[in-house]
Structure 1
Amino acid sequence: MKTKRSAVDWVLTALLAIASVLYMYPIFMILINSLKKESAIGTSTAFELPTADTFAGLANYENAINSKGFLQSLFFSTFITVTSVIAILICCSMCAWFITRVKNKVIQSLYYLFVFSMVVPFQMVMFTLSQTADKLGLNTPWNIWIIYLGFGAGLAVFMFSGFMKSIPLEVEEASMIDGCNPLQTFFLIVLPILKPTLVSVGILEAMWVWNDYLLPTLVLDIKNYKTIPMLIQYFRGSYGRVEMGPMMASIMLTVIPIIIVYLLGQKHIIKGVAAGAVKG
């Protein structure tokens, strides 16, 4: 029995290792091309490693950083990601707390609406969303987080509600006996207990918002505001020519921060997802 299990484990490990290499290969290709000279990046040489003649060093990265709009787009992406994630964590955790503590059919229906929102394709609402955002003035980086809060609430409320059911009600009752009002109970007692789910939801939502291209393109005014994914799409050099070297470098500069965030919080993601899906 142990021999069969060991063989299965080895097979699964090998398959997952191959899958990991396949997923990492496109990033590796972008990395090696970001280090090449412009003349060495082409359909026939894209898969070749840099040589002494084709190696460009960090010149492409310098051009990407110094290009028009890069630092501004980096600021917009960072601001949108931070504000959206903070809004999702605070509002959705409070909503999940209310849903799990108030027992009636209306509140339970509200919970199922949040869950149902996760299966609604974005393409079904994107045109209506664009028009609504223009009418309500949500088409700037300063308030687009309201839209991200709506689209990110489904997953966040689902995970927070699952973990919230495992928190003993007696802990909250004891805090209220000590004189805490509901807000104090939530922020001083409940929120610290939610740390594993807070971290996992925060990282998952940050990865989504940071890499999102379609929603900002539909909502934001492209002439005045561009996030990093939008800037890469419209990356142009002199005379409208696409500069592949700086473009590859800008992609790497965009990918590296979110990969670091994910690697640092990977164990918290696993704990938070397991806690939110299994407990209660």
Structure 2
Amino acid sequence: MKKNTNSYLRYAVITIMALFTLFPVVFLVLNSFKSQTEIVKSPMAFPQNFSFEYIQTAIEKINIGSSFVLTLVITVLSVALIILVSSAAAWMMVRFKSKLSTVLLLCFTASMLIPFQAIMYPLISIFDNMGLKNVPGLILMYGGFGLSMSLFLYHGFIKSIPASLEEAAIIDGASPFQVYFKVIMPLLKPTTMTVIILNGMWIWNDYLLPFLVIGNSPIKTLTLSVYFAKIESGQYGNSWDLIFPAVLITITPVILMFLFLQKNIIKGIADGAVK
């Protein structure tokens, strides 16, 4: 009896937490298919008529198409840069063990404790002086910020890979690049999926760094487009029938990516951190 009571209590707590977590998403979806009048009058009610006209209007007025493409390009290139550099660096640190590699690993690990706000303005100033206050500079910044955690995960996983696999490939005539791309990288798939999910979600949803780097650019990321649309609409009263659909479009790709790849998160983190 006590065991059943504990199970019911546990399920009740989990259900409450799930409802609390899903409430903002449900609220967003409901109001993405309503007119401004419906949203103001009854924000918690279901739409009287489900219509995609508000989503279509948001796409046209906020230039969602160009913003989506730019955000996708930045995210894909930044994540690819993080994966390539962090996995290669972690591989070298594991296979060529020395005091220098240990110090470098400690430096990368310690850098995860430094908040972005502490280096925000010096970093922007340096990149501005180098002529990199643009999209390529933004990609380099994301690559640098995502490097430390990704390297830490890769380093932990690579230690569990037997060096004999690489030695066998070298005996068969493989070059270091072939060993890396054809032997090491396929084995790193679980950790790579985790790196893609964590960094992809962060970069896609990020607002502050794009605002500081390309805030004045004619073409903006999705988060910047939604923000500036909110500012412009706020001059005449918030156009919620424009903001809600725009936010829904912005978060949908991230939600889908998480749903399809969520099983790899725990496995990848555990393999990279524990092993």
| Equivalence map 1:57-206=2 (5 Å) | 57-206=51-200
Are the equivalent residues in 1 in contact too, given 2:62–2:226 (CA < 8 A)? no
- In 2, the alpha carbon distance for the partners of 1:250 and 1:98 equals 44
Aligned to 2:250: 254
Q: 127-136 or 184-193, which moves further after superposition?
A: 127-136
- In 1, the alpha carbon distance for the partners of 2:267 and 2:9 equals 25
- In 2, the alpha carbon distance for the partners of 1:233 and 1:261 equals 23
Q: CA 1:8/1:111 → structure 2, altered by over 3 Å: closer, same or farther?
A: farther
Aligned to 1:219: 213
- In 1, the alpha carbon distance for the partners of 2:133 and 2:39 equals 37
Q: Deviations over 1:174-199 (max 9, x none)?
A: 11111112111111100000011111
**Larger helix proportion, structure 1 or 2?**
2
Normalised TM-score (structure 1) = 0.91
Q: 234-243 or 55-64, which moves further after superposition?
A: 234-243
Sequence identity percentage: 34
Secondary structure in 2 aligned to 1:270? helix
Q: Deviations over 1:205-227 (max 9, x none)?
A: 10000000011111114242311
Aligned to 1:26: 24
Are the equivalent residues in 1 in contact too, given 2:62–2:225 (CA < 8 A)? no
- In 2, the alpha carbon distance for the partners of 1:274 and 1:9 equals 27
Secondary structure in 1 aligned to 2:135? coil
Secondary structure in 2 aligned to 1:76? helix
Work out the number of aligned pairs and report it.
273
Are the equivalent residues in 2 in contact too, given 1:161–1:276 (CA < 8 A)? yes
Are the equivalent residues in 1 in contact too, given 2:82–2:146 (CA < 8 A)? yes
Give the unaligned 5+ runs of structure 2: none
Q: Deviations over 1:225-264 (max 9, x none)?
A: 3110111111135976532112100111111111010110
- In 2, the alpha carbon distance for the partners of 1:7 and 1:277 equals 36
| Equivalence map 1:231-242=2 (5 Å) | 231-235=225-229, 236-237=232-233, 242=238
Aligned to 1:37: 35
Q: 152-161 or 269-278, which moves further after superposition?
A: 269-278
Report the residue type matching 2:27 in the other structure: M
- In 2, the alpha carbon distance for the partners of 1:233 and 1:250 equals 10
Task: Give the CA RMSD over aligned residues.
Answer: 2.0
Aligned to 1:46: 43
Aligned to 1:266: 262
Normalised TM-score (structure 2) = 0.93
- In 2, the alpha carbon distance for the partners of 1:261 and 1:223 equals 28
Q: 6-15 or 27-36, which moves further after superposition?
A: 6-15
